Structure 1
Amino acid sequence: MIQAQSDPFVWQPEIDVNYQLNPDWNFNMGISYRSQVDFELRRFDGEISSSHIQWDAKANYRTGFRSHIGMTSMYRINQIADRQAENEFRLSEAYALDISFGKFSLGNRLQADQRFRFSTTLFRFRYQLSLDFPLSGERLDPGEFYTIFSTESLLTTASVIRPLWDQRFTGALGYELNKQWKLQLNFEFRAEGYNRGLIQRYFLYTRVIYAIPTG
């Protein structure tokens, strides 16, 4: 393993709004902002920089018992705080299958991304395996905590770069305030481009999730 020269730490607050149109269709809209701190293993240089702000919209359709297909569109503004990065428009297609045993839910998701930038288009293929469960009882009720563990493999290809393999590991702790509101804290470790020299990054996500009442 090649040790990374620096270890960026990323904080990303998010707000998500969910709407369940009917038993088959679910929609989600979200906004998030990302900032980054670069530090070396034994020294913090104190530099904090804005990374991007993004908006996304998702539509999911239930295709069978515990399975669904989804489509996501996203626009990311990378050109903030004098960063010389290109803005990006992204489309994603996904198929997900959940398997339940007791209070545990095992999730499988296959996803393809098309990342459109002015200079190039990147194609990314990903598979995520996750496990989530309530910390109290057999089901999640208001006023209770839940947790999620997941790992995801990603392959990025384009005509201008050699293929890149990434791996992500995530742990999350959530709290259901009521049927409409949830709070969630995610910690994620990313090993990026490990087939060409490792880059390590650490992410902290703070999420507020709101479900629009139906009926």
Structure 2
Amino acid sequence: MRTFLFSIFLFINLFSFGQNPTSIFGFFPEAQLSYKTANEFKISTKIESQQGIINTSPDMNPHYNYYHNQTDFQGFIGKSINPFVSVTIGYQYRIDPQSNNSNRSIQQISFVQPLTGIKLGHRIRTDQTFAAEENPEFRGRYRLSAEIPLSGQSLDPTEFYCILSDEGIISHQNDDTGFENRFVLGVGKLLTKHQKVQVAIDYRTDKFSAQSIRHRTWIKFGWFASFSAKK
């Protein structure tokens, strides 16, 4: 745990408060509840909220107070094609105090690649965002993720594990094309067979075509629960 806290400190200093003029830092709680039906459909609901405490950019005075950045409400329904591949569609409603609230449609396909001592995941996702007085935004995304048990070759209840992921996002809106990268590093604990908690650093970079790259560092706290119907 001390190593993880040191990593948080290092990320904040290297990426959020370096020489780049646009930096955002805050907390990112999230919760997800999933249910798998007897015929292998998976229904999920999720809420996540970004709570900022630091915002510095060249076009505004530095902001060092709490502010609500955004809150997302999501719903998904997916189907397992086989034990390793699933397809999913979803919907998101975003509350955005700084802009217009938005609606988003989501489509994705996920692959699980079980390896010895590591669970490797691939996710390909597309989404379309619609908001009042704004042109639609279209995005394509690919995420590579890994879960690594910290005790032994497999994960059992009450044990800790490491989470690591990197996601590249290409977006298109108003004839402009952008790129964003999201890197996540953290630790989780499997509380029971059906519940787990995670704490992680979520470091995001975008606006690469602007005069300065925007850096956003979020400390994520997550609770996840999944249940299955009896067959």
Q: Assess same fold via TM > 0.5.
A: yes
Q: Alpha-carbon deviation of 1:213?
A: 5.4
Aligned counterparts of 2:138 and 2:218: Cα–Cα separation in 1: 23
Q: Alpha-carbon deviation of 1:161?
A: 4.7
Aligned counterparts of 2:39 and 2:24: Cα–Cα separation in 1: 41
Are the aligned partners of 1:17 and 1:211 in contact in 2 as well (CA < 8 Å)? yes
Residue among 9, 15, 18 paired with 2:31: 15
Q: Alpha-carbon deviation of 1:168?
A: 1.2
Residue among 40, 52, 56 paired with 2:74: 56
AA aligned opposite 2:193: K
Residue among 91, 99, 102 paired with 2:105: 91
Q: Alpha-carbon deviation of 1:111?
A: 0.6
More strand by share: 1
Q: Alpha-carbon deviation of 1:19?
A: 0.7
Give matches, 1:1-215, under 5 Å.
4-22=20-38, 24-40=40-56, 45-79=63-97, 83=98, 85-119=99-133, 120-158=135-173, 160-197=174-211, 198-212=213-227, 214-215=229-230
Aligned counterparts of 2:126 and 2:168: Cα–Cα separation in 1: 12
Aligned counterparts of 1:162 and 1:56: Cα–Cα separation in 2: 26
Over the matched positions of the two proteins, sequence identity in percent amounts to 22
Are the aligned partners of 1:143 and 1:176 in contact in 2 as well (CA < 8 Å)? yes
Greater mean deviation of Cα atoms: 32-41 or 55-64: 32-41
TM-score (norm 1): 0.88
AA aligned opposite 2:88: G
Q: Alpha-carbon deviation of 1:157?
A: 0.1
Aligned counterparts of 1:99 and 1:116: Cα–Cα separation in 2: 34
Q: Per the alignment, in what secondary structure is the counterpart of residue 203 of structure 1? A: strand
- Measured against aligned partners, the alpha-carbon deviations of 1:62-89 in whole angstroms (never above 9, x if no partner) come to 123411111111101113xxx3x01011
Aligned length: 207
More helix by share: 2
AA aligned opposite 1:34: Q
Q: Alpha-carbon deviation of 1:39?
A: 4.6
Aligned counterparts of 2:94 and 2:160: Cα–Cα separation in 1: 31
Greater mean deviation of Cα atoms: 148-157 or 134-143: 134-143
Q: Per the alignment, in what secondary structure is the counterpart of residue 203 of structure 2? A: strand
Q: Alpha-carbon deviation of 1:189?
A: 0.9
Q: Per the alignment, in what secondary structure is the counterpart of residue 8 of structure 1? A: strand
Q: Alpha-carbon deviation of 1:45?
A: 4.8
Are the aligned partners of 1:164 and 1:196 in contact in 2 as well (CA < 8 Å)? no
Are the aligned partners of 1:9 and 1:203 in contact in 2 as well (CA < 8 Å)? yes
- Unpaired segments of 5 or more residues in structure 1? none
